[in-house]
Amino acid sequence: NLGIIYQECNQPEKAINSFRSALEYTPSYFSKHYAASVQVLLARLLDQAGRSEEALIMLKEARPFADNPVAVNNQLGMVTSKLGNNQEAEFYFQQAIMIDSTNAAAHYNLGIMYIKSQVKQKGIEELRTAARLNPSYADALAHYSTTFFASRSTE
């Protein structure tokens, strides 16, 4: 898809337009799974361009046909959290974790959402799980644990 080339050349608007053009072909031209892969790429670009509502629509349309439902659920969680719907975000992060409990990114994002929602203990637990699954999340865990325990000592 030409959109991928534009994306790699750091031309997001051209990539968005190219992905949209690809989606305008009739469904008989390509499978629903291919359309979902284009929608997921388009959603990522839309979200990065500050068009999160459009990204959310794309991701919801792609979700039933996505080849990687864990990644789509995780991305849906991030977008819905960004839009301020933490209950829906929690649902999508939990869906990703239910499909693959070893997905460190979903645990990490769920943890960050909990912390931002003032559910700090659950957030720390999710960050701890993410760090156990992927040591690159250890710095985030250390930062939030320090913040959490510092706030508890002042109560």
The mean pLDDT value for 4-12 works out to 80
Convert the pLDDT of each residue in 10-40 to its tens digit: 887 888 778 878 777 756 667 888 889 989 9
What distance separates the 2 farthest-apart alpha carbons in the chain?
Answer: 63
**Chain centroid to CA 62: how far?**
13
Q: End-to-end CA distance of the chain, in Å?
A: 55
d(CA 18, CA 99): 32
Helices (H), the chain: 2-8, 12-23, 32-48, 52-62, 69-82, 86-99, 104-116, 120-133, 138-153
**Band of the pLDDT at 153, cuts 50, 70, 90?**
low
Task: Give the pLDDT of residue 150.
Answer: 60
Res. 53: pLDDT tops 70 = yes
The mean pLDDT value for 116-135 works out to 90
**Band of the pLDDT at 148, cuts 50, 70, 90?**
low
Convert the pLDDT of each residue in 68-118 to its tens digit: 999 999 999 999 999 999 999 999 999 999 999 999 999 999 999 998 888
d(CA 3, CA 26): 18
d(CA 12, CA 15): 5
Task: Give the pLDDT of residue 21.
Answer: 83
Task: Give the pLDDT of residue 95.
Answer: 98
Task: Give the Cα-Cα-Cα angle 101, 37, 91 (nearest 5 degrees).
Answer: 35
Q: Is 100 left (phi over 0), alpha (psi -120 to 50) or beta?
A: beta
The mean pLDDT value for 118-129 works out to 90
Its pTM stands at 0.82
The mean pLDDT value for 120-126 works out to 90
Task: Give the Cα-Cα-Cα angle 67, 101, 38 (nearest 5 degrees).
Answer: 20
Res. 149: pLDDT tops 80 = no
